[in-house]
């Protein structure tokens, strides 16, 4: 007997043939998709499914995959999204000197609720603004909160902004806020403890990527003076070897940022370069990597995530895609100027590509949808996700199509990408289990989550003295720096 039968739906499978089934059905057994086909056929085959979902007028999609977000930002990341210096200062103060396990737990529950509401079933979340690994109790608390909602999380834990170590933090020791100096070896030790305790936990819903913040950990972020990009430092060679060792030991991926000019230098580490099929590299901050660097990414099989957001740079994602590089389009979390609406992120990416090329034929809806489903699954190294086909994991998001914006669009893919908002998702299934039904979260009391999140937000502002980030005096000014 099937556990769940979804019937009467428009099913966008994202399978090999990219089939779209009208009056389609999906049968789920345990955590696996057992059958996909016409409703009449599947209803005849499985007349006694334990649960039947009538998805008439709805669109069934593979659960969406957000390849890049930030743990912590749901609580504090929207503090002041326009004044980036204040924003950054406040975040660092909270993440490095205030936030204990309670903060990360409250953030995780809010974050996971919002991802599910937006039809996202897998989210890759870096610990903080830059990936702190020194204290495993923090990612452990995040993983626990996320799993309660029932969604998949991949935590990015590792080494924060290079290259000055040790880093000064305040951490709770026996409940007492204590100054801590954490070297990169401490970060890697904490990362290993996180891998031991969280990677594969919660029935496999939670994974951990080893996350050095950058693929050159001995260079200042964004460094682009050519003579400073001539040679890898001893620190970089050491970190590369240790990061690779850890990822291999726990059979997981490496996750890091890069900048223009850095890929060429990174590739000179013939043994341990942070490039390759097990590396998902962030191209949010890249200023114009050259053509040779795009070729290196393609030749090494490196995977890429990208966010089209005002603060960040335009990356040649169309060019990378045409070279066969898998690209995940992401929200970059829910801050500073984004939400967890991944469909909105697709529209931003489409707009950015078309403006850049001055050509509306770039980045159409179908190509964009691949970047949050099948190609995103390649990015996270788990192709059992991202499509609706027999044998794949049962992560399914069902979109309600009754909002006026979604009416009168004949093409179902354009209907999703151009007409829908994240809030239109009605039902979400993760690993064969309902986590949202009729827009109500199944496993948690959402009111409780929102109250806990608000409390954590207000406490962080009070304790960190960052009230001056609120309501900056910039009314009437077109450019903020003129104030
Ligand atoms: Zn980011």
- Are 210 and 239 in contact by the 8 Å Cβ rule? The answer is no
pLDDT digits (tens, 9 = 90+) for 117-139: 999 999 999 999 888 999 999 99
Q: How far is the CA of 168 from the centre of ligand 1 (A)?
A: 22
pLDDT digits (tens, 9 = 90+) for 99-108: 999 999 999 9
Nearest to 295 by CA among 318, 328, 327, 320: 320
- Are 357 and 321 in contact by the 8 Å Cβ rule? The answer is no
- Are 57 and 10 in contact by the 8 Å Cβ rule? The answer is no
Q: How far is the CA of 483 from the centre of ligand 1 (A)?
A: 28
Q: How far is the CA of 36 from the centre of ligand 1 (A)?
A: 36
| Residue 290: per-residue pLDDT | 85
pLDDT digits (tens, 9 = 90+) for 39-64: 999 999 999 999 999 999 999 999 99
| Residue 288: per-residue pLDDT | 66
- Are 469 and 90 in contact by the 8 Å Cβ rule? The answer is yes
- Are 394 and 432 in contact by the 8 Å Cβ rule? The answer is yes
167 pLDDT higher than 80: yes
Q: How far is the CA of 277 from the centre of ligand 1 (A)?
A: 21
Task: Please state the rounded mean pLDDT for residues 442-450.
Answer: 97
Task: Please state the rounded mean pLDDT for residues 438-453.
Answer: 97
Q: How far is the CA of 249 from the centre of ligand 1 (A)?
A: 26
Tokens representing 253 are 């991926």
| Residue 479: per-residue pLDDT | 80
Q: How far is the CA of 215 from the centre of ligand 1 (A)?
A: 15
152 pLDDT higher than 70: yes
472 pLDDT higher than 90: no
Mean pLDDT of the chain: 93
Q: How far is the CA of 283 from the centre of ligand 1 (A)?
A: 9
Nearest to 277 by CA among 309, 253, 257, 250: 253
286 pLDDT higher than 80: no
Low-confidence winner among 226-235, 298-307, 421-430 (lowest mean pLDDT): 226-235
Q: How far is the CA of 6 from the centre of ligand 1 (A)?
A: 36
pLDDT digits (tens, 9 = 90+) for 322-371: 999 999 999 998 888 889 999 999 999 999 999 989 999 999 999 999 99
Q: How far is the CA of 68 from the centre of ligand 1 (A)?
A: 7
| Residue 463: per-residue pLDDT | 82
Q: How far is the CA of 56 from the centre of ligand 1 (A)?
A: 38
Q: How far is the CA of 51 from the centre of ligand 1 (A)?
A: 39
Q: How far is the CA of 43 from the centre of ligand 1 (A)?
A: 44
Q: How far is the CA of 313 from the centre of ligand 1 (A)?
A: 12
Name the strand (E) or helix (H) holding 26.
strand 20-29
Q: How far is the CA of 272 from the centre of ligand 1 (A)?
A: 24
- Are 166 and 188 in contact by the 8 Å Cβ rule? The answer is no
> What is the DSSP code (8-state) at residue 226?
G
Q: How far is the CA of 69 from the centre of ligand 1 (A)?
A: 6
| Residue 414: per-residue pLDDT | 96
Q: How far is the CA of 94 from the centre of ligand 1 (A)?
A: 17
153 pLDDT higher than 90: yes
Nearest to 121 by CA among 331, 337, 372: 372
**DSSP for 149-199, written as a single string:** HT-EEEEEEEE-SSS--SEEEEEEETTEEEEEEE-HHHHHHHHHHHHHHHT
Beta strands in 244-401 (DSSP E): 254-257, 279-282, 303-306, 327-329, 396-400
Task: Please state the rounded mean pLDDT for residues 382-405.
Answer: 97
| Residue 283: per-residue pLDDT | 87
Tokens representing 370 are 């691949």
| Residue 71: per-residue pLDDT | 96
Q: How far is the CA of 335 from the centre of ligand 1 (A)?
A: 9
| Residue 411: per-residue pLDDT | 95
> For a pLDDT cut of 90, what percent of the chain falls above it?
78
- Are 117 and 422 in contact by the 8 Å Cβ rule? The answer is yes
Q: How far is the CA of 276 from the centre of ligand 1 (A)?
A: 21
Q: Is 396 helix (H, G, I), strand (E, B) or coil?
A: strand
Q: How far is the CA of 418 from the centre of ligand 1 (A)?
A: 24
Q: How far is the CA of 4 from the centre of ligand 1 (A)?
A: 36
Q: How far is the CA of 46 from the centre of ligand 1 (A)?
A: 45
Q: How far is the CA of 306 from the centre of ligand 1 (A)?
A: 9
Q: How far is the CA of 380 from the centre of ligand 1 (A)?
A: 16
Q: How far is the CA of 378 from the centre of ligand 1 (A)?
A: 19
pLDDT digits (tens, 9 = 90+) for 241-279: 999 999 999 999 999 999 888 999 999 999 999 999 999
What are the residues facing 440 on neighbouring strands? Answer: 437
Q: How many CA atoms lie within 13 A of 17 on its CB side?
A: 5
pLDDT digits (tens, 9 = 90+) for 407-438: 888 899 999 999 999 999 999 999 999 999 99
Q: How far is the CA of 333 from the centre of ligand 1 (A)?
A: 7
Global pTM value: 0.97
Identify which has the larger pLDDT, 351 or 84.
Answer: 351
pLDDT digits (tens, 9 = 90+) for 205-217: 999 999 999 999 9
| Strand-strand pairing, 254-257 and 279-282 | parallel
Pairwise CA distance, residues 66 & 71, whole Å: 13
Q: How far is the CA of 469 from the centre of ligand 1 (A)?
A: 20
CA dihedral 369→375→376→377, nearest 10 degrees, is 120
Q: 46 φ, ψ to 5°?
A: -125, 70
Pairwise CA distance, residues 154 & 139, whole Å: 10
Task: Please state the rounded mean pLDDT for residues 57-83.
Answer: 91
Q: How far is the CA of 141 from the centre of ligand 1 (A)?
A: 21
Q: How far is the CA of 24 from the centre of ligand 1 (A)?
A: 37
Q: How far is the CA of 216 from the centre of ligand 1 (A)?
A: 17
């Amino acid at each position: 007997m099937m556990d769940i039968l979804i019937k009467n739906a428009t099913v966008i499978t994202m399978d090999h043939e990219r089939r779209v089934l009208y009056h389609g059905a999906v049968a789920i057994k345990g955590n696996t998709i057992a059958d996909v086909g016409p409703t009449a056929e599947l209803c005849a085959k499985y007349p006694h499914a334990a649960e039947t979902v009538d998805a008439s007028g709805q669109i069934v999609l593979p659960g969406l995959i957000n390849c890049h977000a930030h743990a912590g930002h749901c609580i504090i990341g929207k503090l002041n999204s326009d004044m980036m210096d204040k924003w950054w200062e406040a975040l660092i103060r909270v993440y490095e000197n205030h936030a204990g396990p309670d903060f990360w737990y409250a953030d995780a529950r809010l974050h996971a609720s919002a991802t599910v509401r937006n039809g996202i079933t897998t989210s890759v979340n870096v610990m903080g603004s830059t990936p702190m690994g020194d204290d495993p109790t923090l990612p452990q608390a995040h993983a626990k909160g996320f799993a309660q909602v029932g969604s998949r999380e991949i935590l990015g834990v590792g080494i924060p902004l290079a290259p000055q170590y040790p880093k000064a933090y305040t951490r709770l020791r026996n409940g007492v806020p204590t100054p801590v100096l954490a070297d990169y070896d401490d970060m890697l030790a904490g990362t290993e403890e996180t891998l031991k305790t969280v990677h594969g936990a919660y029935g496999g819903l939670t994974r951990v990527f080893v996350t050095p913040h950058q693929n050159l950990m001995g260079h200042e972020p964004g460094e682009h003076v050519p003579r400073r990009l001539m040679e890898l430092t001893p620190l970089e060679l050491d970190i590369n070897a240790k990061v690779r060792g850890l990822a291999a030991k726990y059979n997981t991926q490496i996750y890091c940022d890069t900048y223009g000019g850095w890929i060429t230098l990174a590739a000179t580490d013939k043994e341990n370069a942070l490039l390759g099929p097990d590396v998902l590299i962030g191209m949010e901050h890249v200023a114009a990597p050259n053509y040779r660097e795009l070729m290196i990414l393609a030749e090494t099989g490196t995977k890429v995530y990208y966010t089209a957001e005002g603060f960040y740079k335009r990356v040649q994602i169309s060019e990378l895609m045409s070279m066969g590089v898998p690209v995940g389009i992401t929200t970059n979390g829910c801050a500073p100027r984004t939400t967890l609406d991944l469909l909105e992120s697709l529209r931003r990416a489409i707009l950015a590509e078309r403006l850049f090329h001055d050509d509306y034929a770039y980045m159409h809806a179908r190509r964009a949808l691949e970047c949050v489903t099948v190609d995103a699954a390649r990015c996270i190294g788990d192709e059992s996700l991202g499509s609706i086909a027999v044998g794949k994991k049962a992560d399914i998001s069902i979109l309600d199509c009754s909002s006026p914006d979604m009416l009168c669009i004949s093409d179902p893919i354009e209907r999703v990408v151009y007409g829908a908002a994240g809030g239109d998702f009605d039902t979400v299934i993760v690993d064969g289990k309902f986590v949202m039904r009729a827009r109500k979260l199944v496993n948690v009391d959402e009111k409780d989550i929102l109250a806990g999140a608000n409390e954590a937000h207000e406490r962080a502002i009070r304790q960190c003295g960052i009230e001056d980030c609120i309501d900056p005096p910039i009314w009437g000014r077109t450019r903020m720096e003129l104030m």
